[in-house]
Structure 1
Amino acid sequence: MTRVLHFLLLLITAAAASAQPQKLIFLLRVDDIMSRNTAILPRSLTAFEQAAESRGAKVTWVTIPHRLIESANQDGKLRRELIASAGRGHEIAMHGYTHICQRCSQSSHEMFCTTHNLPFTYAQQEKLVRDGLQILADSLGVQAVSFVPPGHHADSTTFQVLVEQGFRWISTTGPTKAPIAEGLMNLPPHREYTWQMAPASYQDRLRQALQDVRTLGRADGYFCLLFHDPFMRQGYENGLVVRWAGEVLDSLRAEYGGNLVFMTLAEAAQHFAGQITSLTQRSAAAPVFALAQNYPNPFNAATLIEFSLRQTTPVRLTVFNANGQAVAQLLDRMLSPGNYQVRWQDAAAASGVYHYRLQAGESSETRKLLLLR
């Protein structure tokens, strides 16, 4: 009888342990600090920050440097709020320079002109990054180490400039918890629910957000919840987004308890980079695969992706659009050592930048391809 009771106790304990949610790293990322909107008042971060802080959360303020020296912020209020926020453990990340393209004057991109599908030179991008860093240093006394490309549009030149200017982390579309370039770790955001949110959609978006945290957060080991200024201001719909963010955090704290860990973008990226470093050190002597750049690139009909394997391993080859959504699963099976060539052709795919990611065992690599119709 004693053995039976002991066995039942072990089963109950194991079941209770398995019912507990796994550890979840949770980030709040607020972009476009500070937008040029002067109608939604007050132009302040305080209400949102207090809602986060009161629940133990941290905020990454993705700041457009040029806004700090524009007329709307000449009273110094934004500067003082950001300095105080950084002093309390929140992060100041950099969001381009002006968030306006110097070629076409559109505000949807800056580091790569999507209107004309043309890149900027190294010197042009270096000046944007240098000037932005200088404003942040002069105005806030901070050295940003995380970067968010305006509109999530960037290229290999952008990555090179960022690394050489001291950035270690980026948050954009592309590989998840992996280097997007040598020396530049990428931690993409997951979802944005509060852009122009109305009271009528409050509950639906709350339910959707919590469900996405359970599924996507479980899959990735973290969840980055994205917000934008000016919607996170207290003056937008009488603080609708501030209340919504607080309710999300309260729900997650109740569900995850001590397994919910709040981090800034830089802290989370550094955490996952440490895991990758350990894995790389274990496997550096014998890389599993080599992934080539697709050819032709750019292309307008079909392109070939070549790779080689050094050992038998499960392989998955996926194509993602610029929003990080999977648009094609080209491979998902066990392969033997050898050279492989995979063709991607999708008549329904729109022109634009795509990424293809090869996962082989515990290793992965992502490259960019460009479709021109």
Structure 2
Amino acid sequence: MTDVAIRFDDPSAVSDHALERAILQVLAAHDVCATFAVIPCAGQRRLTAACAPHLVEAQQLGRVEIAQHGFDHVPCRPGDMPPSEFCGLDEPAQAEKISTGQAVLEAAFGCAISGFVPPFNTFDATTAAVLERQGFRYLSAGGEHGWVESGPLAQLPRTCQLTELRPALADARRRPAGGLAVIAVMHHYDFKESGHADAPLTLEDFSDLLHWLRGQPGVRVNTLGQLAARHDAEVWRRAVRRSRWVQRQHWRVRALFPHYGLMPHALFKYVRLTGSST
């Protein structure tokens, strides 16, 4: 079984709500529940139920899972590469941003917020420690940035962009014994309807992709919260370590293992089978 989760970053009080409503309609039409990583305070406007009723309704109907996307999505040190809202800030500063953002979203949605997606996919050990104290269940960032050393916080880094979902599942089918986890990320700017001329997708393309996804045998669609619950946090930490180990190897070794997914089980289960279906 291959587990797939879709993460949509950057909804906020000032984002493109018309596009978000259209995306929600496509998700509902294909009975897919995605995780929306929502910015609590964007452009000095805090998210409220009144300014984002489409998100509140979708959450109440069980059509989306809401995760916290930092606090204001502003780098703490302009000019740093990669940028980060949290890396390098002391613990009190990070705790203030995270707890305030969590409170904003919980007031807007009327539910506990237990998933965290750091802007720019970057965090540090202090971020992880604060998230654990605040009761977060999972952290979804980039596998190449930051590390969760221990504790109950599940680390679920994005493994591909939404546009890479088809090759990701083709890659997974070469490892029938594995049980791969694929976390695909999308943004507003991925859709031509956002006004970005070089966007790779239209809403119709998105609908076609979800129709295809729902028809794939051996594929289970999850929210990030559901994915976090499939294994304990230590299993997910080992999966992240395996991915990092693979990425450090010679290209011939890397080619034997999945390029787009997390490996919760022993490495030998994921060795590529030549001649299997693509």
TM, length-normalised to structure 2:
0.73
For 1:170, the aligned partner's letter is: L
Query: Given the alignment of the two structures, is residue 227 of structure 1 paired with residue 186 of structure 2, yes or no?
Result: yes
Q: What is the rounded CA distance, in whole Å, between the counterparts of 1:147 and 1:134 in structure 2?
A: 13
TM-superposed deviation, 1:86: 1.1
Query: In the TM superposition, what whole-angstrom CA distance separates every residue of 1:66-90 from its partner, at most 9, and x where no partner exists?
Result: 039618x789342x11211111222
For 1:214, the aligned partner's letter is: A
CA contact (8 A) 1:180 1:186 kept: no
Who is 2:54 aligned against? 81
For 2:70, the aligned partner's letter is: G
**Which structure 2 residues correspond to residues 211-360 of structure 1 after superposition, within 5 A?**
211-216=167-172, 218=175, 221-232=180-191, 234-236=193-195, 240-256=201-217, 259-273=218-232, 276=235, 319=244, 326-328=247-249
2:20 aligned to which of 40, 45, 49? 45
Q: What is the rounded CA distance, in whole Å, between the counterparts of 2:12 and 2:148 in structure 1?
A: 28
Who is 1:291 aligned against? none
2:107 aligned counterpart, secondary structure: helix
1:264/1:209 Cα in 2 relative to 1: closer, same or farther (>3 Å)?
closer
CA contact (8 A) 1:60 1:93 kept: yes
1:93/1:319 Cα in 2 relative to 1: closer, same or farther (>3 Å)?
closer
For 2:56, the aligned partner's letter is: I
Who is 2:70 aligned against? 96
TM-superposed deviation, 1:137: 1.9
2:165 aligned to which of 188, 200, 209? 209
For 1:83, the aligned partner's letter is: V
Query: Given the alignment of the two structures, is residue 30 of structure 1 paired with residue 20 of structure 2, yes or no?
Result: no
RMSD between aligned residues: 3.7
1:105/1:124 Cα in 2 relative to 1: closer, same or farther (>3 Å)?
farther
Q: What is the rounded CA distance, in whole Å, between the counterparts of 2:84 and 2:141 in structure 1?
A: 13
Query: Given the alignment of the two structures, is residue 187 of structure 1 paired with residue 153 of structure 2, yes or no?
Result: no
Q: What is the rounded CA distance, in whole Å, between the counterparts of 1:180 and 1:241 in structure 2?
A: 40
Who is 2:271 aligned against? none
1:273/1:236 Cα in 2 relative to 1: closer, same or farther (>3 Å)?
farther
Query: Given the alignment of the two structures, is residue 139 of structure 1 paired with residue 60 of structure 2, yes or no?
Result: no
Q: What is the rounded CA distance, in whole Å, between the counterparts of 1:76 and 1:133 in structure 2?
A: 17
TM-superposed deviation, 1:319: 4.7
2:132 aligned to which of 157, 163, 170? 163
2:123 aligned counterpart, secondary structure: coil
TM, length-normalised to structure 1:
0.56
Question: Percent identity, aligned pairs only?
Answer: 21
Q: What is the rounded CA distance, in whole Å, between the counterparts of 2:27 and 2:231 in structure 1?
A: 23
Who is 1:173 aligned against? 142
> Structure 1 or 2: larger strand share?
1
1:222/1:104 Cα in 2 relative to 1: closer, same or farther (>3 Å)?
same
Q: What is the rounded CA distance, in whole Å, between the counterparts of 2:120 and 2:86 in structure 1?
A: 9
Query: In the TM superposition, what whole-angstrom CA distance separates every residue of 1:206-227 from its partner, at most 9, and x where no partner exists?
Result: xx53122221475552222210
For 1:251, the aligned partner's letter is: W
CA contact (8 A) 1:48 1:232 kept: no
CA contact (8 A) 2:117 2:140 kept: yes
TM-superposed deviation, 1:229: 2.4
Who is 2:40 aligned against? 65
